Amino acid sequence: MKDFIIVGGHLAGIAFAETALQHGKSILIISNSSQNSSLAAAGVYNPVVLKRMKPTQDAYEHIMFMKPFYENLERKLGVKIDHNVPLYRKFASVEEQNMWFEAIDNPKLTPFLHPEVIHEKFEGVPSPFGFGKVLHTGYVNTNTLIPVYWGHSKKEGTLLEETFDYAALNIYDDYVEYKGTLAKHIVFAEGFGIKNNPYFGYLPLNGTKGELLLIKAPELKLTVGIKAALFVLPVGNDLYKVGATYEWEDKTSIPTEAAKQELVEKLAEIITCPYEIVDHYAGVRPTVKDRKALVGTHHICKNVHLLNGLGTRGVMLAPFMAKELFESIETGTPVKRDINLNRFPLL
């Protein structure tokens, strides 16, 4: 009998799988490629909401926890995943500079903001008002992590590539059974796929579609990420990820011409050098109406659990939220209320 069946093999599923394995548990991941928000994401981690100059909740704790988590994954898989890239907030005016200095006085933001305006010059990026440097930033290369992790899991016999059939799941008092595989627990980590989940489909995970571009700009020579109306993130070989859009109505993973045009127009406000569009990605982020994660155990089925709702900050939240869920399952301690799925009553 397995300890855990994990439905979903992207960021949330991988984070829980690794957490379980680190504690000596046996797992089976069941996943397909229908939910590609992790692959379509830039993977940026940033502890500050730069638009409103506010820290993300428990930012320092999440950053400090995720760093060794990804370091361990890098050693295990033999690939580079976590890239420490400084993030520069481009100032558009003296007023924005003043907002930065006001934010530095906030003790919750002080650890994350460089105290001086940066006047570093980058070819192709006009910056008459300079930049504010955000600390403890970077990106996790999900386009490397996910396929490499899947390959490793296949070799270990812990990945079943198929669409999960909810009708084939049988739940008993002390275990679950799926197509002949028995497990003590099942964890659903299928992102926006929760909409088809008969156990958790009532939860208000609405999802926001995000699109981004991959561009090639040999003259840009950026060594830092730039954030203004959107972000420009260097990923090597003169390639940059540019994003992202927010769309609340369209729930498909199909790139659109309208989003592409929006990105191109906003990019023109940041860089002046020529570039070519190499690729265009789209995915639906698993976002909840209150912008908090959905973590916890089903109200009736005590061996059915959920790890979802990581939204736009999945790479930063996934390791810590996986730990929270694992500890709750193992000790019986309830998940904290602000992320506990039971904060939303059954409809």
Is the distance from CB of 324 to CB of 308 less than 8 angstroms? no
As a whole number, mean pLDDT of residues 105-121 equals 92
- Note the pLDDT of residue 49: 86
For residue 110, pLDDT beyond 70? yes
Q: 130 in helix, strand or coil?
A: coil
For residue 39, pLDDT beyond 60? no
Confidence of residue 87 (pLDDT cuts 50, 70, 90): very high
Q: What is the pTM of this model?
A: 0.93
**Percent of the chain whose predicted confidence (pLDDT) is above 70:** 97
The yes/no answer on whether domain 2-41+143-204+289-343 falls in CATH 3.50.50.60 is yes
Calculate the dihedral angle through the C-alpha atoms of 87, 137, 214, 280, rounding to the nearest 10 degrees. -120
Any idea where the domains of the chain sit in the sequence? 2-41+143-204+289-343, 83-138+207-285
DSSP state of 224: S
Is the distance from CB of 199 to CB of 176 less than 8 angstroms? no
**CATH T-level assignment (fold) for domain 83-138+207-285:** D-Amino Acid Oxidase; Chain A, domain 2 (3.30.9)
Q: Is-same-fold flag (2-41+143-204+289-343; 83-138+207-285)?
A: no
Confidence of residue 40 (pLDDT cuts 50, 70, 90): low
Cα distances from 342 to residues 84, 202, 305, in angstroms, run 36, 11, 11
Over the Cα atoms of the chain, what is R_g?
21
Tokens of 138: 């970077």
Neighbours of 239 (CB within 10 A): 17
For the chain, the average pLDDT equals 93
Looking at per-residue pLDDT, the higher value among 41 and 125 belongs to: 125
Is the distance from CB of 288 to CB of 309 less than 8 angstroms? yes
